[in-house]
Structure 1
Amino acid sequence: MSHIPSSPIVQRRRRFSTKRRGVAAVEFAVCLPVLVLLVFGSIEAASFIFLKQSLNVAAYEAIRESIRVGSDNAAGENRAINILSARNVNDFVVSFPNGEALDADRGDEVVVEVSAPTSTNSPLAGQFVANRVLTARIVMVKE
C-alpha cells in the first residue's frame, strides 16, 4: 500500500483544530472562576433568604401565640424555638423588647424580635459574606 501525502488543505485544518482546542482551554480557564463564584454566590444568597424567611415565620408564630388570652412570652418563645429547630437554624435569640405579653392590656402592642447570625447558618460556612445578624421584628395588638 502506498501512502498518499495529505493535501495542504487537510494539513491546515489539522493545525486549525489543534489551535482551536488551545483557545477553548484558555476560555474555560478564564470563565471557570466566574461560574464558580456565581454558583456559590447563588447558594449563599438562597441560604440567607431561607434564614430570613425562617426568622419571619418564627417571629409571627411566636407573637400569635403570645397575644392569645391567658398566654405569655414563654409560650411564644417555645413556639419560635420549635419552628427554628425544625428548620435547623442555629444560635438564634428570641426576645420581647416591650415586656411580658401576659401583663399587657387588651389593645396594647406586643413586640417580638427573632435574630440569628449568618455565619453559623451558612452552608458554605460564611466564606463569601461577612457575618451579619438577621432580625425579624413583628408587632401585634394584644387580644
Structure 2
Amino acid sequence: MNVPPSPSRSCLRRSAGRIAAKRRGVAAVEFAVCLPVLILLVFGAIEAASFIFLKQSLNVAAYEGCREAIRSTGSNAEAQTKAVAILDARNVRDAQVRFVSGDVAAINRGEKVVLEVSAPTRANSPLAGQFIDNRDLTARVVMVKE
C-alpha cells in the first residue's frame, strides 16, 4: 500500500495563512455592512431621547405655568413667565405658551384653566434636525382655578 507523503510544515503554514487572510477579509466585509446600521441605531436613539426630553420639558413647563395661573391672584403674565423660565432652563428653543381658556383673571373660581406649550422638533434636535420632518410637540394642561 502506498501512503501519500505528509505535507511539509511550510505548506501547512501557507495554507493556514491563506485561511487567516480569508477570515480577516470576511470580517472586514461584515463590518462594512453592519457599521451603517449601527450608526443609524445610535443616532436614532439619541434623537428619540432628545424628543422624549423635549416632550417632558413641555409637560413640566405647562404644568408649572398652569399651577401659577390657577392661583386666586394668578395672571397670564406670571404663568407665562414661569413656563418660559422652565423652558429656558432646559434649553428649549422657539417655544410658544398659549392660554386656550383666555385671560386667567376673567375666569371664575372652579372653572377650567387650559394652558398649552408647544415647540418645534427641528429647532430642538441635537443631531439630525434637518433630516427629520419638522413637527410641533404640544403639551396641554387643564386645572381648576382656586
Partner Cα distance (1:90, 1:124) in 2: 15
Q: Percent identity?
A: 64
Is the Cα–Cα contact under 8 Å of residues 47 and 128 in structure 2 kept in the other structure? no
For the pair 1:141 / 2:128, whether they are aligned, the reply is no
**What is the CA distance between 1:125 and its match in structure 2?**
4.2
Does residue 119 of the first structure (1) align with residue 126 of the second (2)? no
Residues 1-143 of structure 1 mapped to structure 2, 5 A cutoff: 6-143=9-146
Q: CA RMSD for the aligned pairs?
A: 1.1
Question: What TM-score results when the alignment is normalised by the length of structure 2?
Answer: 0.92
In the alignment, the residues of structure 1 paired with residue 106 and residue 83 of structure 2 have an alpha-carbon distance, to the nearest angstrom, of: 20
Q: Which runs of 5+ in 1 are unaligned?
A: none
TM-score, structure 1 length as denominator? 0.94
The runs of 4+ residues in structure 1 deviating greater than 6 Å are: none
- 1:81 is displaced (CA, Å) by 0.5
Rg larger for: 2
Matched residue SS, 1:83? helix
| In 1, Cα distance between equivalents of 2:79 and 2:11 | 83
Distance 1:98 1:141 in 2: 11
